[in-house]
């Protein structure tokens, strides 16, 4: 028995060592973000002698961090919010009203899930460019709604199918309107779906690059992933602030992950298995 | 009474479906149809001129040696990325479901790279490949690392594969773990009573029973790596000398830098067809291997 527990301990230790190796690329960047560029170039493996936060302040200036952070935050929060509310309402509509037009639209939405962004990006830029709607955060929010709705509706649809109609019936008898019933009775039941979708949509939108790079043209609108480009605007790259900038772009998601890891893992699993 | 009913139905439809269906139509359906039409025209972004030219764009795509070369480069990249990422994810998932202590924490740790977006991840690996590895190569005399991997086509290819696989592994691992938990404990117990060793258990029981998870993982990794753009842009920027441009990178350049919208869109449609055919074929073939437990 004792030999067995030693073997198990060894195995756990080995796994932790392997994890450390696996995460080395990231940890090296974290470590070097506290050194000066010169110290980094001289020896990227040396531990920082004194914690040098200068890189962080210079990265904040160079990538206009506060602006980028605010843009990313607004775009992520508002997009996720509108995707969730409108998808939930439409999922409800498709479950409770089996009209032909509803099943047709639902079918088209499901089919569209196979479409990669690549086949849509050129006509999108062309159409919205012609209408002079590019370079606006509102347009980007609208596009995220359009891209996020099919999966949202699909997920809510699957869940609402299992919600018994009797729950709503009594509310209708008491004269509650359709909309009020939805928000007061149905919506609170959808909490697990909300968590899954919030996780998946935040990770998607916070990290997205290609779509915002096509829509948000002026520097004032830039999200964080777009702002990292600033480090490469000059001829030679100053690595230490770059590393600090990269870390700062990841930190919001990492903090979220630290608090919600169970939900995130659950959300990812459910999202992938659908 | 009937008229009122129709009106109220239409009201319900607009209220509950209006905003999302409108956005979906305006962002997905209409651009998709316009995009198909676009492939049959020579639309010019500067003059706004557009004539129907039949299949000329597709003809151009299939006779463009540069694009075909990049499609082939993309295929090789997808093959190795899918192979490495799935292999690593499978074995990590296996190790993390065998009863080690703190599996939850290890799982959390291995998943972390997947939270990093493609652009940031690309710059992170760019720093490693262009600065840290050459430093090690020169210090310890490892010739493999003595020059930056990003300055040579072959090593830059592997840099792309490694960075992409690193991002995918945690994600695939989660799906494999979910798949393994579907393997019934009594089957494993019976096998160990019969004296099956670990590798036999993996080959004969776990692998066949986790085929549904494998199908999903390979499907996801194929479609994701075929569409890689961010990592390509941040890590190699298509270089050296445009030799590491993946298909999406090429399409973006074609459309938005050379302003050849029609040809770019035809290339995108071809890329989509290739991804769909390969992803569906593998699902079909692997699903045949599925067994009931």
Cα B251 from Cα B275, distance rounded (Å): 15
Residue B213 lies in a domain: yes
Q: B38 vs A124, A218, B56, B267, CA distance in Å? A: 11, 27, 12, 11
Q: A239 vs A48, A68, A89, B65, B234, CA distance in Å? A: 15, 20, 48, 37, 14
Residue B75 lies in a domain: yes
Those residues whose C-beta lies under 8 Å from the C-beta of residue A84, and which sit 6 or more positions away, are A152, A194, A197, A198, A201
* DSSP tag of A80: H
Question: Does the distance separating the beta carbons of A127 and B31 come in below 8 Å?
Answer: yes
Q: Would you call B281 exposed, middle or buried from its count of C-beta atoms within 10 A (0-12, 13-18, 19+)?
A: exposed
Residue B22 lies in a domain: no
Can you give the CATH number for the domain in which B138 is found? 1.10.3720.10
| Sites in chain A below the pLDDT cut of 50 | none
Q: Is the peptide bond before B240 cis (omega within 30 degrees of 0)?
A: yes
Residue B20 lies in a domain: no
Q: What is the pLDDT of residue A1?
A: 53
pLDDT per residue rounded down to tens, chain B (293 residues)? 456 677 777 777 788 889 999 999 999 999 999 999 888 888 777 777 778 888 888 988 898 888 899 999 999 999 999 999 999 999 999 888 877 777 888 888 999 999 998 899 999 999 899 888 888 888 888 888 888 888 888 889 999 999 999 999 999 999 999 888 777 777 777 887 887 777 787 777 777 878 888 888 998 899 889 889 999 998 888 878 888 899 999 999 888 888 888 888 999 999 999 989 988 888 888 877 776 65
Kindly state the tokens that stand for B124.
């992170």
Chain A residues touching B9 at Cβ < 8 A? 97, 99
Q: Which residues pair with B52 in a beta bridge?
A: B41
pTM above 0.80, yes or no: yes
Of B9, B100, B276, the CB nearest to A15: B100
Kindly state the tokens that stand for B143.
């010739």
* Minimal C-alpha gap between A6 and chain B (Å): 11
| A10 has a chain B CB within 8 A of its CB | no
Residue B199 lies in a domain: yes
- Are B223 and B172 spatial neighbours (Cβ–Cβ below 8 Å)? no
* Minimal C-alpha gap between B206 and chain A (Å): 18
| A17 has a chain B CB within 8 A of its CB | no
Q: Which domains does chain A have, with CATH numbers?
A: 64-226 (1.10.3720.10)
Cα B72 from Cα B274, distance rounded (Å): 11
Residue B32 lies in a domain: no
**Is 0.85 exceeded by the ipTM?**
yes
Cα A274 from Cα A197, distance rounded (Å): 12
Could you give the number of structural domains in chain B? 1
E strand or H helix at A28: helix A2-32
- Are A150 and A203 spatial neighbours (Cβ–Cβ below 8 Å)? no
| Helix/strand/coil for B52 | strand
- Look up tokens 């999202």; give the residue: A271
Q: Which residues pair with B41 in a beta bridge?
A: B52
Cα B152 from Cα B185, distance rounded (Å): 49
| A37 has a chain B CB within 8 A of its CB | no
- Helix A65-96 and helix B2-24, axial crossing angle in degrees, nearest 10: 150
Residue B30 lies in a domain: no
Residue B19 lies in a domain: no
Cα B255 from Cα B156, distance rounded (Å): 25
Give me the domain span that covers residue B173: 60-287
E strand or H helix at A121: helix A118-130
Question: Does the distance separating the beta carbons of B31 and A250 come in below 8 Å?
Answer: no
**What is the number of H-type helices and E-type strands within chain B?**
15, 0
Q: What is the pLDDT of residue B82?
A: 95
Nearest residue on chain A to B129, judged by CA atoms? A25
Q: What is the pLDDT of residue A258?
A: 86
Of A112, A125, A254, the CB nearest to B28: A112
* DSSP tag of B29: I
Q: B115 vs A26, A82, A229, A267, B111, CA distance in Å? A: 12, 23, 19, 13, 8
């Amino acid at each position: 028995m004792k030999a067995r527990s030693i073997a198990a301990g060894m195995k756990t230790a080995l796994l932790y060592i392997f994890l450390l190796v696996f995460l080395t690329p990231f940890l090296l960047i974290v470590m070097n973000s506290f050194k000066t560029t010169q110290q980094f170039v001289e020896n990227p493996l040396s531990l920082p002698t004194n914690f040098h936060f200068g890189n962080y302040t210079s990265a904040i200036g160079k990538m206009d961090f506060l602006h980028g952070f605010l843009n990313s935050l607004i775009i992520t929060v508002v997009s996720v919010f509108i995707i969730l509310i409108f998808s939930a309402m439409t999922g409800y509509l498709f479950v409770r009203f089996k009209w032909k037009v509803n099943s047709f639209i639902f079918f088209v939405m499901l089919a569209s899930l196979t479409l990669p962004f690549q086949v849509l990006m050129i006509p999108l830029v062309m159409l919205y460019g012609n209408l002079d709607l590019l370079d606006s955060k509102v347009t980007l929010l609208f596009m995220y709604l359009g891209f996020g709705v099919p999966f949202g509706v699909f997920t809510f649809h699957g869940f609402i199918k299992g919600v018994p109609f009797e729950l709503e019936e009594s509310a209708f008898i008491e004269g509650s309107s359709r909309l009020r019933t939805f928000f007061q009775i149905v919506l609170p039941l959808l909490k697990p779906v909300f968590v899954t979708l919030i996780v998946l949509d935040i990770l998607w939108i916070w990290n997205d690059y290609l779509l915002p790079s096509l829509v948000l043209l002026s520097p004032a609108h830039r999200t964080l992933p777009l702002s990292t480009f600033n480090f490469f605007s000059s001829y030679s790259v100053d690595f230490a602030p770059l590393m600090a900038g990269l870390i700062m772009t990841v930190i919001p998601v990492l903090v979220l992950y630290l608090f919600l890891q169970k939900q995130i893992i659950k959300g990812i699993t459910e999202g992938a298995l659908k | 009474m009937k008229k009122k009913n129709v009106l109220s139905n239409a009201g319900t439809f607009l209220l509950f479906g209006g905003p999302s269906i409108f956005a979906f139509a305006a962002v997905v359906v209409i651009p998709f149809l316009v995009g198909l039409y676009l492939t049959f025209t020579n639309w010019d972004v500067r003059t706004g001129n557009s004539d129907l030219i039949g299949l000329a764009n597709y003809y151009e795509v299939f006779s463009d040696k540069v694009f075909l070369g990049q499609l082939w480069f993309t295929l090789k990249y997808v093959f190795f990325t899918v192979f490495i990422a799935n292999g690593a994810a499978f074995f990590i998932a296996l190790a993390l479901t065998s009863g080690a202590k703190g599996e939850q924490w290890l799982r959390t740790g291995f998943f972390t790279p997947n939270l990093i977006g493609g652009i940031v991840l690309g710059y992170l690996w760019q720093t490693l490949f262009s600065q840290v590895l050459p430093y090690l190569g020169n210090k310890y005399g490892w010739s493999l690392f003595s020059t930056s991997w990003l300055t040579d086509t072959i090593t830059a290819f592997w840099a792309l594969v490694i960075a992409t696989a690193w991002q995918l592994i945690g994600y695939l691992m989660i799906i494999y773990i979910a798949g393994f938990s579907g393997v019934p404990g009594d089957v494993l117990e019976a096998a160990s009573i019969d004296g099956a060793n670990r590798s036999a258990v993996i080959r004969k029981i776990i692998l066949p029973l986790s085929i549904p998870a494998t199908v999903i993982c390979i499907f996801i990794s194929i479609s994701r790596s075929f569409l890689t753009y961010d990592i390509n842009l941040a890590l190699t920027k298509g270089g050296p000398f445009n030799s590491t441009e993946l298909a999406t990178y090429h399409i973006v350049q074609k459309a938005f830098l050379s302003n050849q919208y029609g040809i770019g869109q035809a290339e995108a449609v071809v890329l989509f067809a290739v991804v769909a055919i390969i992803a569906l074929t593998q699902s079909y073939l692997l699903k045949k291997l599925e067994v009931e437990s």
